[in-house]
Amino acid sequence: MPNEIETDVCVIGSGAGGAVAAKELAEGGLRVVILEKGSRFTKYDFTQKESEAFPQLYEDAGMRTTADQSIIVLHARGVGGTTLVNHNICFRAPEFVLRDWQRGGVDHISPQIMSPYYEKVEKEISVTEIPPDEVNQNDQIFHRGADRLGLLPKRFLHNRKDCIGCGFCYCGCSYDRKQNMALTYLPRAESLGVQIMADTDAEKIERKGNRVTAIVARQKDPHDLTRDKKIRVQAKCFIVSCGGISTPALLLRNGFGRLNRNIGRHLTLHPILANIGVMPEPVNFYEGIPQCEYVDRLSSVDSGGFLLEGIGAHPVLTSLNLPSFGRPHLEPILISKV
């Protein structure tokens, strides 16, 4: 028999959405339990070795792709969700996106309505503009090129404190400079009584008619992953906050596709197309804060478009964006003049 837990709210997923919801609901006096598939990590677990970070922190060891394998989806797994491994870019939803949502029936949002909510979150996670003297060399070159083309480059907002510019953001921060959910919202939620159950994979959603009554999950022993136990959580309210991929996957496995045909559809991805060049000066792609500068003048006002942005990475992640396969992949890039 599974261990039984009763609470007011059960949140599945501890990324940004789940963490914020748990903290806010706990402030309102509700009992909250968070189920998180991934483990709980601290700065001492982040070794700055890509060969260890990808299997440890990412679904499918960082090789999760679309069905046709055309797009790699770096989807994190751990207490704090993808905020553990993202590049800390804090971007408000553009006005054209909110207008598009309004046309789709979500008529209670606008930049003016959303502004105080953004401001509250940005204060909680210490959002600031990346200082000019911390822009890495790669992005300085990006800025010069964009400026000469009249593209008006901008600098990203981020949520780091006293960053040392090691460039290992996507492997977890060994210095606790990233103000991710595991360092901000989740500790505050726990201080309010929220229970975070790590290494706990929600499997079955029990319901009576159209009402969800319980979640059955499997919790692994973090010291011996071959051992696990079942947990059954009963609650008055359930929040599935596992991201745009794992959320519909969980719902579809439990038959919710019959109740709502939109589940698992309409996903919008943001693929990255890399432009790589050889510079006349040495550029250490892996040094400094990744993603400092961007250009958005190529986006349509009404229907979106794309951003040009600088980036930086260490060898494994860089290699995913380089051409060739096998032994030729190890060879230096050869640039021929036409």
Regarding pTM above 0.85, the answer is yes
Judged against a pLDDT cut of 50, whether residue 337 lies above it is answered with no
d(CA 233, CA 171): 32
User: 154 by DSSP, 3-state: which?
Assistant: strand
Average pLDDT over residues 32-47: 96
Q: What is the pLDDT of residues 165-191, one digit of tens each?
A: 999 999 999 999 999 999 999 999 999
Q: Please indicate, yes or no, if residue 21 is contained in any of the structural domains.
A: yes
Q: Please indicate, yes or no, if residue 292 is contained in any of the structural domains.
A: no
Q: What is the pLDDT of residues 184-227, one digit of tens each?
A: 999 999 999 999 999 999 999 999 988 999 999 999 987 877 78
Q: Looking at residue 324, what is its pLDDT?
A: 72
Q: Please indicate, yes or no, if residue 72 is contained in any of the structural domains.
A: yes
Q: Please indicate, yes or no, if residue 97 is contained in any of the structural domains.
A: yes
**pLDDT tier for residue 13 given thresholds of 50, 70 and 90:** very high
**pLDDT tier for residue 158 given thresholds of 50, 70 and 90:** very high
Q: Please indicate, yes or no, if residue 174 is contained in any of the structural domains.
A: yes
Q: Please indicate, yes or no, if residue 66 is contained in any of the structural domains.
A: yes
Q: Looking at residue 332, what is its pLDDT?
A: 59
If we measure between CA atoms, which residue out of 175, 217, 225, 169 comes closest to residue 197? 217
Judged against a pLDDT cut of 90, whether residue 64 lies above it is answered with no
Q: Please indicate, yes or no, if residue 313 is contained in any of the structural domains.
A: no
CA 144, 147, 151, 157 dihedral sign is positive
If we measure between CA atoms, which residue out of 280, 331, 27, 317 comes closest to residue 137? 280
Angle between helices 95-103 and 111-124 (to 10 degrees): 130
Q: Please indicate, yes or no, if residue 140 is contained in any of the structural domains.
A: no
Asked if 201 and 13 count as a contact pair (C-beta separation under 8 A), the reply is: no
Percent of the chain whose pLDDT exceeds 90: 65
Q: Looking at residue 303, what is its pLDDT?
A: 57
Domain that includes residue 72, residue range: 3-130+158-265
User: 123 by DSSP, 3-state: which?
Assistant: helix
Picking from 78-87, 171-180, 186-195, 297-306, which range would have the lowest pLDDT averaged per residue?
297-306
Mean confidence (pLDDT) of the chain: 90
Judged against a pLDDT cut of 90, whether residue 41 lies above it is answered with yes
Can you read off the two tokens belonging to residue 238? 């359930």
Asked if 105 and 84 count as a contact pair (C-beta separation under 8 A), the reply is: no
Can you read off the two tokens belonging to residue 331? 């060879």
CATH number, domain of 210, equals 3.50.50.60
Number of domains in the chain: 1
